[in-house]
Each structure stands twice: as structure tokens, then as C-alpha cells.
Amino acid sequence: MLDHLDRSRTDVVLIVDDVPDNLSLLHDALDEEGYTVLVATHGEAALQRASQSVPDIILLDALMPGMDGFEVARRLKAQAETSHIPIIFMTGLSETEHVVSAFNAGGIDYVIKPIKPREVLARIQAHMHGARQARQARNALDAFGHASVTIHIEDGRLPWQTPLARKLLTKYFDAPDGVAPEPLLNWVRQAAPARPVTPASQPSTWFVNHAGGRLTFALHQQTGDQEWLLVMTETSDQVLIETLTQEFGLTAREGEVLYWVVRGKTNRDIGGILGSSPATVKKQLEHIFPKLGVETRTAAAGLALSRVAQLKMR
């Protein structure tokens, strides 16, 4: 499972081949080079292992009994959680149509059998740098709660998306998983051609409101041919309360109190909203002030308001 792999220390390669000798040869060569090696001997096992472990690169045998490598690749590319993984085909077929089939199925490279470990290692190293950077970017976005997707503006596919992005798209839109909602796709198609190429330029933004919340999309940069990176931010009462709670190390109830102070509510108002007495609200504020490093209600509101403003500007 992915949780048991130390991704900070090693890159993970999944080998898919129905011939034990090939698996053994490649496993030993990759292991000696410091890779974490996973193996699968047929198509169904490959799909399951890839979904569980999300390897950095997959070495995939083109011809296997049952589900062949081309079909495995197509299924991997159709799943949001595995669509980004680079696939290197291993094949004894060098005819043009088979090479074309490998690339059409989503492969980025291929090696010809019989397998030469040095050649395979060279191909992996050539593609691993980009795979590693992409993995680190995804992990960072996930860790900081940034909902991000890449969108293919020609057909609306979402080649990859963070778990939070998938959750928010489901919440705000009625659209199939892995496909951009039509209003979002239309906006990206209009905004992308006008996006300045200067890295320092501000990203174009668009938003949609739903059930008391607002989901804002920022068009950041082009990541491939007809493919763009979007970063999504949700703002709502609950999201802002959680942000203040985490930012200042408050309890859940203290976060609620501080939020309503920012909104200009009196202790009596806050007590009515939260179902407590004004005296209880006053005591909670007495705990909040030291955590924020302030002494007055006005200073607490000002500091919190500044943090809320920073969130809205993301």
C-alpha cells in the first residue's frame, strides 16, 4: 500500500510482465539502483497495484495473456488517480503499428525485448526526473489543502486532480468524474489564450456560488499541449472558521467565536448564534486574546480579518 512506502527516500517502479525471468532480471537491476520495485504478473493485478501504490513509473509488457498491456494502459489513463503515471512499454514487437499502438494507449516510451537492464535503467532515469517533480508538486498541493487540477481544454479531460479538487467539483457541479464541467471548460477556453506567459503575472480567476459557499478557480500555467493547471479555493463560513482555528491554535468553539467577532457581532449576538450565554463568550475571548498575542477585541478582530483577507486573495 502507498502508506507503507517511504516516498521521500526512494522512487517507486511497477513492473508488469507475465514472464518470471523478466521480472527477476528487472527487479534485481532496479533494486541495485535503489528503486522500490513492485511487480504484477497480469493486467488485473497491475491495475490494482497501480491504484494502491501509485508508482512513479510503470514498465508494462505489451503482450500478456488475457488483458494486454495496451488495454492496461488505457484503463490506467482513464482513472484520475493513475492517469499521470508515465508508462514505458516493453515489447518484442517493433513494427510501426505496434509502436503507434503503445503511444496511442498512453505510453511515453518503449524498449524492445529481449530486455537489456542498462537500457531500461537509462529510459527510466530519463523520465523519472519529471515524474518526481510532478509527484512532489501533487504531494505539496495535497498537504497544504490546495485543490488543484489539470484540464485539457480540447476535450475537457482532467488528467489529474487532488482528492480535495475531486470533492469540491462533485460538491459544486453535476459532472462526471474526470471531466470538466461545461461552464468551467468554457471559461478556460476563453481565458487560456489571453493568459500572459510572464510567470509574475496574476492568474485569471473565475468563481461559482453554491449553497452558501464560493469556489474560485485560478488559471495558473500551461503544463502541456492544450493542458493547463487550475488551483481552486473554497470560501464559506465553515472554511473560514476552520482556517482561523488552525492558524491561531484555537479550539473549535474559540474559532467560531473569533469568526463572529470579525463579522462585527456582539457577545450577545454570538451567544445567540452559538447557543451560549454572553458571559461564556466573554470567557472564551479571554482565552483567545493570549493565543493571538493581543489584549483587546478590536486588535483580535483586526488580526483575524487580515488572515481572512489573505485567504480570499489566494
**CATH topology match: 146-235 vs 237-312:** no
Residue/partner pairs of 35-40 with CB below 8 Å, 24 or more apart? 35/10, 35/11, 35/124, 36/5, 36/10, 36/11, 36/12, 37/12, 37/13, 38/12, 38/13, 38/14, 39/14, 39/15, 40/14, 40/15, 40/16
Give me the residues paired with residue 234 across strands.
Answer: 215
Ranking 30-34, 113-117, 154-158, 238-242 by mean pLDDT, the lowest is: 238-242
Question: Cell numbers at residue 96, please?
Answer: 510501426
- Residue 37's pLDDT is 93
Question: Cell numbers at residue 219, please?
Answer: 488559471
Q: Which residue has the higher pLDDT, 293 or 213?
A: 293
**DSSP letter, residue 203:** P
Query: Can you tell me the distance from the alpha carbon of 78 to that of 73, in angstroms, rounded to the nearest whole number?
Result: 9
**DSSP letter, residue 4:** G
Residue ranges of the domains in the chain? 2-141, 146-235, 237-312
When the candidates are 1.10.1040.50, 3.40.50.2300, 3.30.450.20, 3.40.50.2000, the CATH number that belongs to 146-235 is 3.30.450.20
CATH code linked to domain 2-141: 3.40.50.2300
What is the fold of 237-312?
Answer: Arc Repressor Mutant, subunit A (1.10.10)
Asked if residue 271 has pLDDT above 60, the reply is: yes
Asked if residue 304 has pLDDT above 80, the reply is: yes
Residue 230: enclosing H or E segment and its boundaries?
A: strand 227-235
Confidence of residue 262 (pLDDT cuts 50, 70, 90): confident
Question: Cell numbers at residue 65, please?
Answer: 495473456
